């Protein structure tokens, strides 16, 4: 006899009308791990300019899309959630947007025939610091949510460092007279700063979740 058959009729009816709440803490943590993996690939690409890694980033973006869509579907179908439904949705979407920024940067570098340089590498390393903090924070929601606030702060600090670096990089870029290269590089910088902004928005959502839990 299966476990389902062994359950009493009232128990089966209860589960039918009041299904078990999905483990959204685990789902968000797994999605944040996917983001760390993608940004890690971005760092490797900026270090090596290997075409195989750029292809892996594109494949990773498709995998991240599948994770996003699966999590949104689970959220839509959930009878109840352990935290605010809107916060879960915002976390899902902003995590995915970080991955999109990485993919867009790599795609445009290929389209514009641009090679990685020290600036794009430093952008990527700082972004990796931020998403690692996010991953640590989402990993603590189920067991130690109060401590996750420190990780949210660390991710926001990483974004502020990227913003300062972005302004400095732009100032250096627009020296000289190679205007075409300036415009091309600026597009890549914009993708990377946008990814950082999405990361900061996700950190704000993580902090909102913590405030409501503790």
d(C-alpha 195, C-alpha 75), whole Å: 24
- Residue 4 is assigned to a structural domain of this protein: no
* In-domain check, residue 181: yes
Question: What CATH number is attached to the domain comprising 157?
Answer: 1.20.58.220
Domain that includes residue 73, residue range:
23-213
**Predicted confidence (pLDDT) per residue in 100-141, tens digit:** 999 999 999 999 999 999 999 999 999 999 999 999 999 999
34: pLDDT strictly greater than 60? yes
Answer whether residue 12 is part of any domain: no
Quickly state the pLDDT bin for 17 (edges 50, 70, 90): low
Which one is predicted more confidently, 20 or 207?
207
Assess if residue 81 is contained within a domain. Answer: yes
Does the predicted model carry a pTM greater than 0.85?
yes
Chain-wide mean pLDDT for the chain?
93
Over pLDDT 70: what percentage of the chain?
91
Query: Which phi-psi region, left, alpha or beta, contains residue 7 (left: φ > 0; alpha: ψ -120 to 50)?
Result: beta
Yes or no: say if 182 and 173 are a contact pair by the CB < 8 Å rule. Answer: yes
Q: For 150-203, what is each residue's pLDDT tens digit?
A: 999 999 999 999 999 999 999 999 998 999 999 999 999 999 999 999 999 999
Note whether residue 9 is domain-resident: no
For the chain, give the DSSP string: --HHHHS-HHHHHHHHHSPPPP-HHHHHHHHHHHHHHHHHHHHHHHHH--HHHHHHHHHHHHHHHHHHHHHHHHHHH-S--SS-HHHHHHHHHHHHHHHHHHHHHHHHHHHTT----HHHHHHHHHHHHHHHHHHHHHHHTTT-HHHHHHHHHHHHHHHHHHHHHHHHHHHHHTSSS-HHHHHHHHHHHHHHHHHHHHHHHHHHHHHHHHHHH-
Q: What total number of domains does the chain contain?
A: 1
Please give the pLDDT value at position 6: 55
In this predicted structure, what is the pLDDT of residue 15?
53
Domain contains 36: yes
Instruction: Give the model's pLDDT for residue 28.
Output: 98
State the pLDDT at residue 2: 52
The whole-number average pLDDT for the span 20-24 is 91
Specify if 111 maps to a domain. yes
pLDDT of residue 176: 85
- Asked, for residue 2, whether it belongs to a domain, the answer is no
């Amino acid at each position: 006899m299966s476990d389902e058959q062994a359950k009493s009729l009232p128990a089966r009816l209860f589960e039918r009308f009041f299904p078990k709440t999905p483990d959204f803490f685990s789902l968000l943590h797994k999605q944040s791990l996917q983001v760390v993996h993608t940004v890690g690939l971005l760092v490797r690409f900026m270090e090596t300019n290997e075409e195989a890694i750029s292809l892996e980033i594109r494949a990773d973006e498709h995998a991240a899309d599948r994770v996003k869509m699966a999590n949104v579907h689970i959220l839509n179908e959930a009878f109840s959630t352990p935290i605010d439904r809107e916060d879960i949705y915002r976390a899902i979407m902003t995590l995915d947007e970080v991955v999109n920024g990485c993919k867009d940067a790599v795609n445009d570098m290929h389209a514009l025939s641009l090679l990685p340089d020290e600036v794009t590498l430093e952008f990527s390393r700082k972004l990796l610091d931020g998403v690692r903090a996010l991953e640590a924070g989402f990993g603590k929601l189920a067991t130690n949510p109060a401590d996750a606030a420190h990780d949210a702060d660390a991710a926001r600090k990483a974004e502020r460092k990227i913003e300062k670096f972005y302004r400095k990089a732009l100032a250096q870029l627009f020296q000289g007279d190679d205007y075409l290269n300036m415009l091309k590089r600026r597009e890549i910088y914009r993708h990377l700063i946008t990814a950082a902004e999405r990361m900061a928005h996700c950190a704000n959502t993580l902090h909102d979740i913590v405030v409501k839990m503790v």
